[in-house]
Amino acid sequence: MKNLFIALACILVITSCKTENDSPSKEVPSTEAKIAAIDTSRYPEELLNVFSAHGGLQEWSEMKSMTYNMDDQSTITDLKSRDIMLEAPNYSIGSINGKVWIAQDSTYFPKERARFYHNLMFYFYAMPFLLADDGIVYSDAAPLEKDGLVYPGIKIGYEANVGDAPDDNYILYYHPETKKMEWLAYTVTYGQSEKSNEYSYIKYNKWQEVNGLLLPKELTWYKVEENKPTVSAGKTRVFSKVDIDRGGLDKQTFKMPENGIYVD
């Protein structure tokens, strides 16, 4: 009798397994919502080519955080909210929900410059992808001739009331063959009462691939004569420990320290 019960139990297990295996397979729902394709219809074709040369706008749109070191500063940014925290030996500057703060034990960094400075280098570093932001107006720009090459240009302006300095203008210059970004010309109007026609120039010397995207490794500012770059000025800015990925950040990452003050 005992053997009979064991045999019946085996038959039931086998039948159960066969029934389960023979049933149609069910699709397991994804734990993450599918990311919608980017609508690229509002971008000039030339700019889309630049994005593509740097890994693609779709790839960029899926990233949620960026970190890097420059000199003695470390920076971490939430790419969706644009909350940011910059840490240097003598001070920290950051923003949370758009409110900029500064923390320091003594008056090392002028607090009235904190808002201007808090995301300045991030903006230069995250080129060319930040030129896909909302509120941007694109137009043609005269090419830049430098060192035997002619770099086509794309001019970037902003709609009214976009960002901290909507009167700023940028010109992206790209290599005519590789389509990679080579130069950035920009004006500075923050804190000024009128627009400026004086351009500064940055040379994007070297790039590094991080998680499928081409990001800057070195930036060099240039001296300018007659609104054109001439020779390098100052030291080259080198970026290390760079990371960009799809992982989100805890909001508390950008919380103002106890010794901090809001500067707005």
Within its chain, how far is the Cα of 145 from the centroid?
Answer: 28
Amino acid 194: pLDDT: 56
Characterize the bridge pairing of strands 73-78 and 65-70: antiparallel
Contact 215, 242 (CB under 8 A): yes
For the cut 70, the answer to whether the pLDDT of residue 255 exceeds it is yes
Give the pLDDT band (50/70/90) at residue 18.
Answer: very low
What pTM was computed for the model?
0.81
Amino acid 29: pLDDT: 37
Amino acid 17: pLDDT: 39
Give the pLDDT band (50/70/90) at residue 19.
Answer: very low
pLDDT in tens, 208-247: 999 999 999 999 999 999 989 999 998 999 999 999 999 9
Q: Residues 57-69: what's their mean pLDDT? A: 97
Amino acid 251: pLDDT: 93
Average pLDDT over the chain reads 84
Contact 253, 85 (CB under 8 A): yes
pLDDT in tens, 21-41: 443 333 333 334 445 678 899
Amino acid 12: pLDDT: 34
For the cut 60, the answer to whether the pLDDT of residue 155 exceeds it is yes
Give the pLDDT band (50/70/90) at residue 167.
Answer: low
Domains, the chain, in order of start with CATH, read 45-262 (2.50.20)
The amino acid sitting at 198 is E
Bridge partner list, 201: 185, 222
Instruction: Report cis status (omega within 30 of 0) of the bond before 128.
Output: yes
Comparing CA positions, the residue from 232, 228, 202 lying closest to residue 216 is 202
Bridge partner list, 66: 77, 244
pLDDT in tens, 96-154: 999 999 999 888 899 989 999 999 999 999 999 999 999 899 999 999 999 999 999 99
Length of the chain: 264
Give the pLDDT band (50/70/90) at residue 76.
Answer: very high
Amino acid 30: pLDDT: 37
